[in-house]
Structure 1
Amino acid sequence: MPAALDNLLAISDRLGDPMALEAKRGERLENTRQVAVRNGVAVVPVVGPIFRYANLFTEISGATSTQVLATDIQQALDDPKVKAIVLNIDSPGGVASGINELAELIYAGRDRKRIVSYIGGTGASAGYWIASAASEIVIDEASLAGSIGVVVEAVVEGENATGRKRY
């Protein structure tokens, strides 16, 4: 859209360099597939269906593999420049094999760095399992989260908050 292009060009002009658009996204974390680091925060995308192993299908279709996620999260945990990790989740779930091990890695990693799950879109099934291992889950108002058999108790904050709600 023309307005969106104008906005991108304005950002580029403001920073004096067309490469500034790339810098806004953050720097790629070395030895990872998709992790970007911005101001000491590593953003790990958990997007699309989740499978255990990466292959050509996961690359082409935009799916995620627990194998790649584990490698990327471990790299972020080990990197001293990374102070916190955000799991950027938009996944309907996927294959259950490998999810438990990945969730255990995330859960244990909370002792080393702050790990926050952000669900912007869908965080269901295996996607929700991964999210639940983090210290905190932030869910966009228009997002879907949960899974079969999951009960969530949330503290509702804000102007019209009534306290705890069970969903």
Structure 2
Amino acid sequence: MWALEPQTLAIGADILRRKLSGVAFSGKDLHTELGIATPRERQQSREANIAVIPILGIIEQRAHSLGSSVESIEAAFDSALASKQFDGILLDIDSPGGSVPGVPELAEKIRDARDTKPVLAIANSLAASAAYWIASAAKEMWVQKSGETGSIGVWAMHIDESER
């Protein structure tokens, strides 16, 4: 089950069809074709003690090469929340969404923590579907002028390859 922006889902389905027909893809090729940014590490703002947690590319429950995992986002969030070094947390999002497992729990954790420490989110430049679900749990959400946000839609897809 996917909470993924429809265009990205269609591109992913096309990639899967080609892979099933024997076309080889590298991780770099997949990043390029899907338009996924190069992963960034968590950062600290020097002017204010804000933990910046990047949420980039396709979201999956566990670590993968095409984006962010719920596990890594949650670990960075827990660390920033517990740290006395940070006064707030910024979710820096550029994601079309991804798979559903783990996302509702992460959003609930963010929502529950936002009174402990300010949690803000920015669509920089895309927060769609599962990414929007996560962002909407923050105390405030911003969108850059050229940014996009999208609905929380859930898709299931079946590709019939029986004729091949």
Measured against the shorter chain, the TM-score band is 0.5 to 0.7
Alignment of 1:12-161 (within 5 A): 34-38=41-45, 39-54=48-63, 58=64, 60-61=65-66, 63-148=67-152
Instruction: For 2:152 and 2:52, locate their aligned partners in 1 and report how far apart those are by CA, in whole Å.
Output: 27
Q: Secondary structure at the match of 1:69?
A: helix
CA deviations 1:120-153 (Å, max 9, x no partner) are 111000000000000000001111102156xxxx
Instruction: For 1:81 and 1:148, locate their aligned partners in 2 and report how far apart those are by CA, in whole Å.
Output: 33
Q: Secondary structure at the match of 2:127?
A: strand
CA deviations 1:47-80 (Å, max 9, x no partner) are 00000011xxx2x33x000011001000000000
Match of residue 157 from structure 1 = none
Q: Secondary structure at the match of 2:121?
A: strand
Instruction: For 1:120 and 1:35, locate their aligned partners in 2 and report how far apart those are by CA, in whole Å.
Output: 15
Where relative contact order (Cα < 8 A, 6+ residues apart) is larger, the structure is: 2
Instruction: For 1:81 and 1:138, locate their aligned partners in 2 and report how far apart those are by CA, in whole Å.
Output: 24
Quote the offset at 1:37 in angstroms: 1.2
Q: Secondary structure at the match of 1:94?
A: strand
Q: Secondary structure at the match of 2:98?
A: coil
Code of the residue aligned with 1:75 in structure 2: it is: S
Larger radius of gyration: 1
Identity over aligned residues, as a percent? 38
The alignment's C-alpha RMSD in Å is 1.4
Code of the residue aligned with 1:69 in structure 2: it is: I
TM-score by length of structure 1 reads: 0.64
Structure 1 unaligned blocks of 5 or more: 1-32, 150-167
Quote the offset at 1:34 in angstroms: 2.3
Code of the residue aligned with 2:98 in structure 1: it is: G
Aligned residue-pair number: 112
